Structure 1
Amino acid sequence: MMQTATEINELPGNNEAELSLIGLTFVRGQVPSAAKVLATTDFYSPYLRDVWGACLELEEERQMVEPFAVHDILKRNNPGAAALWPVSSLANTSLGIPITHENVYVEKIRSASVRRFLIRKLYDGIQSLIAGEKGTIQSLRRELNDLEFTEEAKGNFTSLADIFEKQVKPALLDLRQGVTHKISTGFPAIDRIIGGGISLSDVMLVAGIPGGGKSAFVLQLTSNIAKQGIPVAFLSGEMSDKENAFRLLSQSSQTANLNSAVHLSDNDVEFYNKWVDALKTLPIYMDSRTYDLRTLSLSLRNMVENYGVKVLVIDYIQLMKLNRFDKHTRTERITETSQEVKRIAMEYGIAVIEVAQFNREGAKSGKPGMHDLEGSSQLEKDTSLIFIIDREEQSSNVTLRVVKGRNSGLSEVSGRFEGWKLSFEF
């Protein structure tokens, strides 16, 4: 006889969180705002489902949520639950409950509920596949897509009170103590014109003419940021990991680009090995094999959770695809990719630095602007900062123009780019 999913033992639940949330509700006399997304089916214990249903009923009727009123509803709807939960037991759930942890309880309850749903659906799906039932895979896919949409749709709005209490007040205290959460570029002159550095969730775009030093600039930014102890993920679509490591070694040692070297002396090798030993502890993680954002997003989740990555560098954005089977036109792909990169920055709470190419007309013009970027309209919308590197022909003089700055005005800073050692100074 085939076992059904409802007969599976030891489905995940969190009895402590369920009891704590109910106790917190009694303490406040109303259902916490963050908990109103929870249905009775989100609770694992059948009797606690009845208790939560009574709390929701009182809340809907704008009555005080307290143990006596809840018990009266239990007696009416489910005498068994009323017998199991006398008024004294209901009241005891509120003893010693912190009054500010509803979000923690809600998240634990929802997490267990989602896992139970998935286990049941997957188990039933496996049984259906074994039985050879048609349409099982399509049905599972629809169920999972519906769940993903539901989870994304819940709880996206946050009250102004919560924002002030949990985000603004701590930020004010940090500012009073001189603590900033902005990430320095390592160039004080650039930090000054962009309001102190790069913010988490920002998308910063760097553009310039071919050979203008865009890739060298973002690689130097990567090194500068990593030297502050901030982990950086560096994704390159044009150069291998070894080539980028050679370029980083050349920048740091202030020597000629090693990718152009054909021979090194013993002294040279010893010199560079000392630099290697000094640089290899930097929290930089390179990838030159990923070209699609779906793979990148999965990989980045691991990097953020396990390695603490705070900055993602993409060199360059127009080479990226949405997935390995992307059939979009180039313009469509840039539009979709730009939107997805912004979503990644917001979801993971990281800063993104992306390199972009000018279109042919912009590359030929004397002083290209935002409108000359390939896929310019969408890139402009999705970025917080846009830098354009202007380099005088046959000269090491450069100007870094800020043509879009969310928290800064339009400005520029002059500097030098020593192309032979791939190094900028501002």
Structure 2
Amino acid sequence: MIRYGYDAFLDITGLVEEQTFTIDENKVVYKCLSKIFETSQNVDLTSILSAAQQLNLSEFIEKKDALNHIKHLMHYDVHVDNIRQHAQKIRKLQLARDLQNELRSIYTELSEVDGDETVTEIVSIPETQIQNACLKYIREDNSTTKLIGKDLDEYISHLKANEETEPGISSGFPIYDKAIGGGFRRGAVDLIGARAKCGKSTLADNVAVNIANRGTPVLILDTEMSQEDHWNRLLANLSGIAINDISSSKFNKEKQLIDNVEEAAETVKKMPYHYISVAGRSFDEILGIARRWLFKHVGYNEEGRMNDCLIIYDYLKLMTSESINNNLAEFQALGFQITQLHNFCVEHDVPCLAFVQLNRDGITRESEDVISGSDRLIWLCTSFSIFKARGQEEIAEENIGSRVNRRLIPVVARHGPGMDGNSIFMRMTGELARLEEIGTKRDAERIHKEEKDGFADQEDPDQDVSDSPDREVDDGT
């Protein structure tokens, strides 16, 4: 910077800072140069001494050793094209020092553990500090501007070699995938809002099964349902036996039903579908759990990119009393959660499907303002859709019948065409925890007509499954 001036300073801005240097003379010189470049583009000894005076550093820099050090730097032989390379090298040395300091801090904090903490809380002490320190430097690898056309040929070659693939991971519901832009994309949070007890957890389980059945790892972070609740639903979904008949052991009376349940269980055990209850945990702790899952069960490909996976968060809400206080409204706390979740997905290059509770307007209105929470929930999500039950008035007015009992309305889609205010009609068979994508209104009307005319299966629809694990479910008889 002393030899080449402001251009060299611009080349390393954001890469080098005062703490990057370990020698005090270099720290002082860097501060002086930063001061000089506020008003000038050239450097000489006089301007360094003047800047030192403005910064109240004259007493230090006018010492004989300091002056000799500056003169040595002014004659140091370095080519302008190598400046950033040298800066990167000392930045890496700073990373090593920072990690050493983090380890000392971790040692101190772990020494204060008294045994009342959970295992997750203890593990998160080293994990969070090391991860945050590393991610700070990892993000810098992508901080240099470049021509937008750089590497474009390689990208086109990739597209040509993978012409059958979608931009994201398919949910198993093709019309929904198309509406949001080709499935769940990396670094993005797709949001679905729903009223309580309309089947959002059934939707979450169906998406998870569709994806895990293709061998792609799925993690569901569940705030309400137990593992046993998920077992009952998955077994019902795959075996065709009602949830209540499974949970009450009624299936045990017939060999065929037993075989169906055992076969479904084998399918579930082979799925890379992971579950954890996050009820009562802080949001930072939940993200720590997701991070460990990525490293342990997903991993990186040969290019250093996270392998395909999906994280499902069911659902965004305040988890602990510490999440809110008198100075922080609930909608603000939820806004912070979606911000952290979005940043997490960007940093780890993974997709997330998150659910959120609709306010009472969500019963009748179908726009983004029905969401319970901050506008930030909408700003940072890649798509926002509403999942709702068809009401009696809708059923009476529309020529679709009651068998098509759910609607999924893509409201906002950053990458996809959306549905122009139209709905994706769906059929939820509650007692089997199954969800079927019927299609547009025209598709639903056609299927209804076929069923009325006797061309389709006339099996009665089953009762809905509540998202509440404590609710009694009708056996469908």
TM-score w.r.t. the length of structure 2 is: 0.60
Q: Is the 8 A contact 1:32 1:102 kept in 2?
A: no
Q: 1:95-147, CA deviations, whole angstroms, 9 ceiling, x for partnerless residues? A: xx9x9999985774342021244467789999xxxxxxxxxxxxxxxxx99xx
State the superposition RMSD in angstroms. Answer: 4.8
Q: Which aligned pairs between 1:186-335 and structure 2 lie closer than 5 A? A: 186-258=172-244, 261-262=247-248, 263-265=250-252, 267=255, 268-290=257-279, 291-308=281-298, 310-321=309-320, 324=322, 326-327=324-325, 328-335=328-335
Q: From the superposition, tell whether residues 259 and 109 of structure 1 become closer, same or farther in structure 2 (CA, over 3 Å).
A: farther
Q: CA deviation at 1:41?
A: 5.7
Q: From the superposition, tell whether residues 251 and 151 of structure 1 become closer, same or farther in structure 2 (CA, over 3 Å).
A: closer
Q: Which has the higher helix share?
A: 1
Cα distance in 2, alignment partners of residues 177 and 78 from structure 1: 56
Unmatched 5+ stretches in structure 2: 1-6, 44-65, 111-127, 300-308, 393-401, 438-477
- 1:416 equivalenced with 2:427 (yes/no): yes
Which SS does the other structure have where 1:37 is aligned? coil
Cα distance in 2, alignment partners of residues 226 and 244 from structure 1: 14
Q: 1:19-52, CA deviations, whole angstroms, 9 ceiling, x for partnerless residues? A: xxxxxxxxxx9799468623586478x7xx98xx
Paired residues, what number? 356
Q: CA deviation at 1:424?
A: 1.4
Cα distance in 2, alignment partners of residues 259 and 292 from structure 1: 36
Unmatched 5+ stretches in structure 1: 1-28, 64-73, 127-143
- Residue in structure 2 matching 1:161, options 146, 171, 191: 146
> Which amino acid in 2 is paired with 1:77?
H
Q: Is the 8 A contact 2:239 2:263 kept in 1?
A: no
Identity %: 18
Residue 160 of structure 2: aligned partner? 176
Q: Is the 8 A contact 1:42 1:113 kept in 2?
A: no
Residue 77 of structure 1: aligned partner? 69
Q: 1:49-73, CA deviations, whole angstroms, 9 ceiling, x for partnerless residues? A: 98xx99x98xx9889xxxxxxxxxx
Residue 115 of structure 1: aligned partner? 99
Q: CA deviation at 1:165?
A: 3.8
> Which amino acid in 1 is paired with 2:181?
G
- Residue in structure 2 matching 1:396, options 384, 395, 403: 403
Q: CA deviation at 1:390?
A: 3.7
Cα distance in 2, alignment partners of residues 305 and 41 from structure 1: 31
Cα distance in 2, alignment partners of residues 362 and 254 from structure 1: 32
Name segments (4+ residues, structure 1) moved above 6 Å: 29-32, 60-63, 78-81, 99-104, 120-126, 148-151
Q: Is the 8 A contact 2:366 2:409 kept in 1?
A: no
> Which amino acid in 2 is paired with 1:203?
V
Q: Is the 8 A contact 2:235 2:265 kept in 1?
A: yes
TM-score w.r.t. the length of structure 1 is: 0.66
Cα distance in 1, alignment partners of residues 366 and 387 from structure 2: 10
Q: From the superposition, tell whether residues 320 and 106 of structure 1 become closer, same or farther in structure 2 (CA, over 3 Å).
A: farther
Which SS does the other structure have where 2:352 is aligned? strand
Residue 352 of structure 2: aligned partner? 352
Which SS does the other structure have where 2:208 is aligned? helix
Which SS does the other structure have where 1:354 is aligned? strand
